[in-house]
Structure 1
Amino acid sequence: MARDYRVLLVDLAKGFGGAEVRVLTQAGALQGVVQECKVATLQGSVLHARLQEEGLPHEVLTVSRSSPRLLLVLRGLIQRGGYQIVDAHNVQSILWGHLAAVLAGARGRVATIHSDYGREYSGLKGRFYEAVLWLNRRVVRQIINVTEVLQQKSEQAGDGHRSTLIHNAVPVPPHPYEGQNTQLRNELGVTETDFVVGKIARLKPVKGHKYLIEAFTHLSDRPDIKLVIVGDGPLEAELKAQVEALSLQERVVFTGFRTDIPQVMQAVDCVCMASLSEALPYTVLEAASYARPLLVTEVGGLATLLANGETAIMVPARDPQALAEGIRRLVEDPGMARQLGVAAYEMVRDSFSVDVMLESILEVYDQAVQT
């Protein structure tokens, strides 16, 4: 029997990352489980396009995030829709969404936290994000954290009584993937015998692309090892210049932003997360769901989710030499690489299913409308 409340998920991001994957997954899972669930999204955003593609109910906001009118538009949307739950994802969504919810009289104000924003963003931007979250503590009723590190941060701030750890989740195939997407590999310019390292992330400093690119200077004896970088972002020109300066043009492929991530996972031989700070990236869960071996830096949610030598190879952040050695281990020991991939697949299958995530979210929503 469906819960008798209406849910509005608010995501005002222009780009597309892990938070938006979570919103898509969550919106799909909530259909028919609650009285109504819609997503409030910006017109022309990638999330807007994806919601249209998947046929999920949504409300399109035509007002800029920098305009005070957005507050009034959201308030009207919440009032007209009779939403009792407003679940806001990312900082700007929390700022506008929860202020509007207060004005509209929506009691069930939920904040889903995807990153340690103060650590991920330096300078004024990071301080502003942390200030928004601090002020939001006055109005939020329930907090959902996607990693243990974020949950610990909530508890240290005195919010343990209204904070819940709910990991991200992905659909998991019934069996570990075996094979190779040769068609996509051909499109990317890599051969069947190349060992392809996949790096799927926004091109921004915290994702550590420059250290992974530099790692390939330590693999000059293995020209068959290639790097495919999937994503767009502010560092694109800088990273391409780095590749050219290091004469790695024949070994590094930039694909730009792509939506066919399952096909990408089938085309690469391993997935690397070289991040300097990380929550619980969907890339890792998606890679594990296809039994791709993982090479990750020992930071944030990666360090708590994965076990070195069991479900991933873990190396220090900002260490190109260590990244190169990790890649070499995967190339030279395919049996070990396969074992890591299968172990990661089993971990995701058992603990990160959409059904598990949905059950936990509904429990939080129940508390939010009662408190």
Structure 2
Amino acid sequence: VVYDGIKIMPAAENSSCFAREQMGISGDVFTVGDVGALTKEKGHEVIIRAAAAVLRRGIKLKLIIAGSGAMEKKLKKYVSEKNIEDSVLFTGFRKDILQLFPAFDIFVNASESEGLGTSILDAMASGCAVVASDAGGIPEIIKDASNGFLFKHVDAVTLTEKIIKLAGDEDLRKAFAEAGRKTAEKFSAEKTSEGTLSVYREVLNDRV
């Protein structure tokens, strides 16, 4: 199988501080990134529910939801009902989405269905520890407790525990980030281009 490639950007020094400053987030806040179209299938409500539960445990958290879509008003209402408006930032659609990833301590994806999960690979390439649902092709990227955490997409309780675990364990975050970046490199545009060329060569050789 040849996958669509992603671009691996070199880590910029102080990029995390700069990205946080751009959004007005202080360094002592644990940031959770959630990137994707604001649709039901992306599972944003599950992430909001988990964030509310983490906040109830006394953890200083900021959930950053980047994207636009039909559910935006409903999701904002849900955040209001949970009384966590001050802890959730909706950025709307961003053309410079890759510039946000350095601001995230972890990245969360709760999709009900997913292809390869390009946003997950982008997060890994940016050095984020990742927690993601086990939907679709995501388990091809994430090996649970090796280069990230997996959970059932509707299971906000397990997601809550995974977020709390990573919030309290910087070494684990760093380990996931390092392993995740190596995973992302396997899916880089350069690697997938090599794979595509290899397939073409095999086809041509079969015809000779």
- TM-score (ref. length: structure 2): 0.89
Q: Which 5+ residue runs of structure 2 have no aligned equivalent?
A: none
Query: Alignment partner of 2:32: what SS?
Result: strand
The aligned counterpart of 1:193 is 28
Contact 1:229 1:252 in 2 (8 A): yes
Q: Given residue 50 of structure 2, which amino acid in structure 1 is its aligned partner?
A: A
For each residue in 1:121-145, what CA deviation from the matched residue of structure 2 results, as whole angstroms up to 9, or x when unmatched? xxxxxxxxxxxxxxxxxxxxxxxxx
* 1:234 and 2:93 correspond: no
Paired with 2:91 and 2:9, the residues of 1 have a C-alpha distance of 25
Query: Alignment partner of 2:137: what SS?
Result: helix
Paired with 1:358 and 1:197, the residues of 2 have a C-alpha distance of 32
Q: Identify the match of residue 356 of structure 1 among 180, 191, 197.
A: 191
Instruction: Give runs of aligned pairs for residues 35-74 of structure 1, distance below 5 A.
Output: none
* 1:343 and 2:187 correspond: no
The aligned counterpart of 1:59 is none
* 1:183 and 2:18 correspond: yes
CA shift for structure 1 position 238: 0.5
The aligned counterpart of 2:165 is 329
Paired with 2:13 and 2:118, the residues of 1 have a C-alpha distance of 21
Q: In the superposition, relative to structure 1, how do residues 284 and 177 fare at CA in structure 2: closer, same or farther (>3 Å)?
A: farther
CA shift for structure 1 position 218: 1.3
For each residue in 1:34-54, what CA deviation from the matched residue of structure 2 results, as whole angstroms up to 9, or x when unmatched? xxxxxxxxxxxxxxxxxxxxx
Contact 1:229 1:253 in 2 (8 A): yes
Contact 1:177 1:290 in 2 (8 A): no
Q: Given residue 93 of structure 2, which amino acid in structure 1 is its aligned partner?
A: F
Instruction: Give runs of aligned pairs for residues 96-175 of structure 1, distance below 5 A.
Output: 165-173=1-9
The aligned counterpart of 1:138 is none
For each residue in 1:72-97, what CA deviation from the matched residue of structure 2 results, as whole angstroms up to 9, or x when unmatched? xxxxxxxxxxxxxxxxxxxxxxxxxx
Q: Identify the match of residue 128 of structure 2 among 267, 280, 292.
A: 292
For each residue in 1:268-314, what CA deviation from the matched residue of structure 2 results, as whole angstroms up to 9, or x when unmatched? 11110111111112111111112210011111111122111111111
CA shift for structure 1 position 336: 0.6
* 1:273 and 2:106 correspond: no
Q: Which moved more, 1:242-251 or 1:187-196?
A: 187-196
Number of aligned pairs?
A: 203
Rg larger in 1 or in 2?
1
Instruction: Give runs of aligned pairs for residues 56-95 of structure 1, distance below 5 A.
Output: none
Q: In the superposition, relative to structure 1, how do residues 300 and 347 fare at CA in structure 2: closer, same or farther (>3 Å)?
A: same
Query: Alignment partner of 1:193: what SS?
Result: coil
Q: Given residue 240 of structure 1, which amino acid in structure 2 is its aligned partner?
A: K
The aligned counterpart of 1:282 is 118
Paired with 1:273 and 1:359, the residues of 2 have a C-alpha distance of 29
Aligned-residue identity in percent: 27
CA shift for structure 1 position 169: 1.7
The aligned counterpart of 2:144 is 308
Query: Alignment partner of 2:86: what SS?
Result: coil
Q: Given residue 360 of structure 1, which amino acid in structure 2 is its aligned partner?
A: G
Paired with 2:59 and 2:168, the residues of 1 have a C-alpha distance of 14
CA shift for structure 1 position 316: 1.3
With a CA cutoff of 8 Å and minimum separation of 6, indicate the structure with the bigger relative contact order. Answer: 2
Q: In the superposition, relative to structure 1, how do residues 186 and 356 fare at CA in structure 2: closer, same or farther (>3 Å)?
A: closer
